[in-house]
Amino acid sequence: MAYKPSPAQPPSALLRQVRPLRLLLNQAERLEHLQRLLESQLQPAAREHCHVASWRDGTLLLVVTDGHWATRLRYQQKRLLAALQAMEAFGNLRRILFKVQPPLVPAKRGLNTTELSANAAQSIRGSAEGITDEKLRAALERLANNASRKKSLQNKTS
């Protein structure tokens, strides 16, 4: 017996027909609706930093991108609670919890792109010659050599 796959269906049809997928889709749509309602009560600057994580048993759990925004939102918690309770979707809201969760993709750190010119490297070498402290002299020489090495690597790759 050969396996015959079922005919291809559009994803939207699968999401509506298969019960676990339908439940998941309904929950995602509900959270999206709650997110829009929440954003209508937040300051514009806070909207991108605060997301609805769950809504159960009168407790709204909000995920915030960092401690700074969590603190700002905690100061506004009473006002936000009252404003959300006035909406039908949040009728039985009793409390709001904030959880700090940084974004999954780490922010790119600025790379140290400062480069020494050949003239600056030569000046550092000259300064190192007059230094009597061996550790300081070695550090200055390494700095000058690193500048020269980076220049030579750039010339090879160009």
Asked whether the predicted pLDDT for residue 56 surpasses 80, the reply is yes
**Is the CB of residue 65 less than 8 Å from the CB of residue 53?**
no
Band of pLDDT at residue 154, cut at 50, 70 and 90: low
The pLDDT of residue 112:
59
Sheet holding 59-64, edge to edge: 50-56, 59-64, 95-100
pLDDT score recorded for residue 156: 59
Please give the model's pTM, rounded to 2 decimal places.
0.57
Q: Each residue of 58-93: pLDDT tens digit?
A: 999 999 999 999 999 999 999 999 999 999 999 899
**pLDDT, tens only, 87-139:** 999 989 999 999 999 887 765 666 656 677 888 888 888 888 888 889 988 98
DSSP string, the chain: ----PPPP--HHHHHHHSHHHHHHHHHHHHHHHHHHHHHHHS-GGGGGGEEEEEEETTEEEEEESSHHHHHHHHHTHHHHHHHHHTSGGGTT--EEEEEE---SSPPPPPP------HHHHHHHHHHHHT---HHHHHHHHHHHHHHHHHHHHHHHH-
- The helix/strand/coil state of 36 is helix
Given a cut of 80, is residue 155 above it in pLDDT?
A: no
Residue 53 has pLDDT above 90, yes or no: yes
66 contacts 102 by C-beta, under 8 angstroms: yes
Nearest to 13 by CA among 25, 5, 4: 25
For range 52-62, the mean pLDDT: 94
| pLDDT for position 1 | 63
pLDDT-derived band at 8, boundaries 50, 70, 90: confident
